[in-house]
Structure formats: structure tokens, C-alpha cells
Structure 1
Amino acid sequence: MTDPIRSCILTRDRDGRDHLIRLAVSPDGVVLPDIRAKAPGRGAWIGVPRGELETAIAKKKLRGALARAFKGAAITIPDDLPRMIAVALERNALDRLGLEAKTGTLMTGSERIETAARSGKLHALYHASDAGTDGNRKLDQAWRIGSDREGSDVRGLALPIDRTILGLALGRGNVVHIGLTDRAAAKRVSDALGRWLHFVGPDLPPVPCETASQGPSASGLSGDLPAVTTHEEFE
């Protein structure tokens, strides 16, 4: 199924809706992130990183763009909207990792991941922010060997979250490394992580995955709006 195309209200750049972030208006007029893009009513889409969004807010450009998107309706933009979006995207990414852990498409443990990597079965590799350099290097090399990419710079991504947070998200203790051997699961995780990391830091490396889609991408999140104004959805 083709991902519907939407336009960023700030840049007018067009992209698939799963690569953008939807904003919606609550019944009391507050603009809030709708990460799952499932809240009813009219929505507005943004595709810029956090720094650009903060600049747009400071220069009143976001207010003007939202006024056009929501047909001049009275709205309130929270002062901490960028932080709210960042938190929501992080939760979404961790939720996705947790779901993959529950369905058995995600593996942990250095030895298991190394075996899968060397046998060419690994499709994505991630390291906790506090993982040891030697451990990362060993698994990265195993992945390159197993995928016939020795001599390249292919490596797992060091996530901006530590082993404790990863362990809580996966319901396991001491999660230092994560590997995915299911191609579809690897893409789902890459999409969720990619959209989060694009928003919080445009200079971060792309999410490594053999089947990763181009650009940042989206997924669902608990905590979406229960209801919003009832107009047709804005592209």
C-alpha cells in the first residue's frame, strides 16, 4: 500500500505521511502532536527537525502556518511543543522495540547477535549509549563479515539511550545490544527510530537497516489526542 503524500506546512516539502509528524487541535484549542496520526479531524503536518521547529515558533512562522492549516481557528501553541514531540517520538520508538521483543523478532545478547550476524541473518543492529567500544566493534565487524561488506563503514547505531532504558522498554535486564533477523521487523524499527532521531538531531547518522526506507519515518504511540476539531483532514 502506497504511503499517502502530505506537505510540511513550514517548508511545503512533500513526503509520505509516515515520514512526517501530524499536529492536531484538542477540543480546547491546544495544538498537540498526534504521532499515530489517528486523531479525528483536521491535521497539519511538519517534517522539520527540532531546531528548525523551535526557530519557526520563535519567529511566529509556525503560528501563521497553523492558522492557515486550521482555517483561522483559535489555537494555543504550547511553549514546550518541541519537547512534547521529542518525548512522544522517543516513546513511540521504544514501544516499537518492545512490541518486536514480545513477538520474538528481536534478539539480545552479544553471542546470539554475533552468531546471527556472521551467518548473514542480521538485518539491523543497535547499541546502547553506554555499551563498550570493544563490544560494539566486535558485533559491527561480525555484521560486515556476514553481509559480505568487509572494509565498509557499515556498523550498528549507538542509540541515545542507555541499557537501563532499553531493558525497561524490552522487559529484559541489561540490554546492551539489539539485533533483528526479521527483515520486516527491521524496517519497522528503523522507521520508528529514524523519525525520532531525525527530529531530535539532524546531524545524527541514518538508522542502519538493510531495508530502511529513505528519510525519517513514523509509527504509532500511546498518548494520542482523544478528540480534535471536526474538519476534513489537511494535507
Structure 2
Amino acid sequence: MLAFADPDLDNGPRTDRSATMRMCAVTREVRPIDELIRFVVAPSGEVIPDLKRKLPGRGLWVSASRRAVAEAVRRNQFGKGFKRDVRVAPTLAADTESLLVRGAIEALAMAAKAGQVVSGFGKVEDALAQRQAQVQVRALIHASDGAADGIRKLDAVVRQKSGINDESKPFPVVSALTSEQLDLALGRSNVIHAALLAGPASKTFLSRSQTLVQYRMADDDKTAGNAAKNSPIQTVRTRTTQQD
């Protein structure tokens, strides 16, 4: 049971005492807030995503899915939910994904500044090969447009050093960003492979990457959603964006 009278809206930004479950305005399903995106109305009257759940004003929640957000726009769900005239960009679903990508890039940049990222095939291979360093590796990062050969070689190193003979991984493999986006995050050119090391900033990047993957794949690949719910240590992969 929800902790507020209007099932479509909350009463303000998230706090420690806020509900952890909300109703999707499109599907009417009650889901954990980590599987939803909060939208608010800006002072200009435009509906915008509140990805960090901190913007002031009442919020309306939609499943973290391109299709769900696009459907909310098509059905005028924001005007109905907020019970007022609002401006909704027809590109809101794509705009929301762009913000999710930007959030992942910013989080990776912060992890790099904190010394929690090594990049380049050789450096990543060395980090995996060295026993002491491998304990610190928390995820592999591959550019979504990178060659499959390099990915296979690094996966083989992971299995060899971890004693794993099947396709399972001891930590996430993130391929949600392109090489150009990795370049932007890490401040260097032609980044295809990187390794994420232990630390608070790396956890933030993994969390934002998981949300981005879920947003892109929740509708047509239910295993991505199930992986996010069942375990924090799963393979995190996604293809490039599709147009609505």
C-alpha cells in the first residue's frame, strides 16, 4: 500500500523517510523506486526527469523504460497525473536516455579522477594478471562499438585467473558506452577497454550503468531487469539506442 493519497504523485523530493515503492503512472504497477524514474514540472511548466530524485515539487513516477516514457508522452499521462497544463517534449524518452548516458559518463570521470579506473588493453590485462590488482578489480568496461576479439581475450584472462571455465563472470562487464563516450569520460582518445577498481566512485558508476541498461532493455530483454533485481554482480551489457 502506498504512503500517499494520490497514487500518481509524491509530495516532494526523496528523503530517508520516503516510500521505497511507487506506482508507475503508465502500467499502474507498484515497483521499487530503483526501477522507476521520477518526473517533475519545472518552473517553466516543462516536464523534466529527476534522475537523482532531489528536485523540488511533486513528482510523477514512470517505469525506467524508453517504451514506458514514450507511452506516457503519447497518452498525455503527465498532464493527467499532474492535473494541470504542462509542456511535454515529444522527444522526452530520448532526452531522458541522453541524461542517463551523461550521468554514467560523469560518474566514470569521477571514478577516474579518484584513481579507480585503468584504461587500455595492456593495462587492463596487467591488472587482471596481477593477483594483488585483481582483488581490486570490480568491473570490466568495453566500448559498445569495440571489436569482439579484444573482449574475448580479456574474458579469457578473467576466466583463467579466476578459475572459471564457463561463461559466468566474477564481476560485471559493462558495455553501455561507446568508445567516444569513454574518451570523453577518461580524457584520452580511442578507449576501448578499461577496468574499474574498488571504491565509492566506482559503485556510483555501476549503479548508473545498471539504470541505463535497464532503461534501454527493460521492454525487450526481461533478463536485464531480473539481473538488476536479483544480484548486484551480473554481466551488464546493452546495445546502442533505438529510436521510438
The AA in structure 1 aligned to 2:148 is: T
CA distance, structure 2, for counterparts of residue 92 and residue 150 of structure 1:
35
Equivalent residue letter for 1:116: A
TM (norm. structure 2) is: 0.73
Q: What aligned pairs does 1:6-45 form with structure 2 within 5 A after superposition?
A: 6-45=22-61
Q: Secondary structure at the match of 2:204?
A: helix
**Aligned position for 2:232:** 212
Deviation of 1:99 after TM superposition, in Å, equals 0.8
CA contact (8 A) 1:7 1:14 kept: yes
What is residue 180 of structure 1 aligned with on the other side?
196
Q: Take 1:137 and 1:178, find their aligned partners in 2: how far apart are those partners?
A: 14
Instruction: Tell me the distance in 2 between the aligned counterparts of 1:156 and 1:189.
Output: 12
Alpha-carbon separation, structure 2, partners of 1:109 and 1:18:
32
How far does residue 87 in structure 1 lie from its aligned partner after superposition?
Answer: 0.8
Question: Displacement, 1:81?
Answer: 0.8
Is this contact kept in 2: 1:128–1:175, CA < 8 A? yes
SS of the aligned residue for 2:48 comes to: strand
| Identity within the alignment, % | 30
- Taking a change above 3 Å as real, the CA distance of residues 56 and 42 of structure 1, as seen in their structure-2 partners, is closer
8 Å contact 1:116–1:181 — kept in the other structure? no
Deviates more, 1:39-48 or 1:195-204: 195-204
Alpha-carbon spacing, 1:52–1:45, altered in 2? closer, same or farther (3 Å): closer
Residue 101 of structure 1 aligns to which amino acid in structure 2?
A
Q: Which has the higher contact order (CA 8 A, sep 6+)?
A: 1
2:4 is matched with: none
1:123 counterpart SS class: strand
Task: State which of 192, 195, 201 in structure 1 corresponds to 2:208.
Answer: 192
| One of 96, 116, 130 as aligned partner of 2:127 | 116
Question: In structure 2, do the counterparts of structure 1 residues 37 and 213 end up closer, same or farther at CA, with 3 Å as the change threshold?
Answer: farther
User: Structure 2: which amino acid aligns with 1:135?
Assistant: G
Q: Counterparts of 1:41-120 in structure 2 under 5 Å?
A: 41-58=57-74, 60=75, 63-64=76-77, 66-67=78-79, 69-70=81-82, 72-118=83-129, 119=131, 120=134
Question: 1:138-149, aligned counterparts within 5 Å?
Answer: 138-149=153-164
Q: Do structure 1's residue 156 and structure 2's residue 173 form an aligned pair?
A: yes
Judging changes above 3 Å, is the alpha-carbon distance between structure 1 residues 56 and 182 closer, same or farther for their aligned structure 2 residues?
Answer: same
SS state of the match for residue 126, structure 1?
Answer: strand
Amino acid of the structure 1 residue aligned with 2:180: T
Q: Which amino acid aligns with 1:158?
A: S
Question: Residues 180, 48 of structure 1: CA spacing in aligned structure 2 closer, same or farther, 3 A cutoff?
Answer: closer
Deviation at 1:139, TM superposition (A): 0.9
Structure-2 separation of matches of 1:153 and 1:159: 19
9-18 or 24-33, larger mean C-alpha shift: 9-18
Structure 2 CA distance for partners of 1:139 and 1:35, relative to 1, 3 Å:
same
**1-side partners of 2:92 and 2:233: how far apart?**
27
CA distance, structure 1, for counterparts of residue 111 and residue 160 of structure 2: 25
| Match of residue 187, structure 2, among 147, 171, 178 | 171
Partner of 2:21: 5
Q: What secondary structure is seen at the aligned counterpart in 2 of 1:77?
A: coil
Q: 1:199 to 1:14 in 2, by over 3 A?
A: same
Task: Report if the CA contact (8 A) 2:114-2:201 is conserved.
Answer: no
Aligned length: 208
How far does residue 188 in structure 1 lie from its aligned partner after superposition? 2.1
Structure 1 unaligned blocks of 5 or more: 217-235
Secondary structure at 1:115 match in 2: helix
| RMSD, aligned CA | 3.0
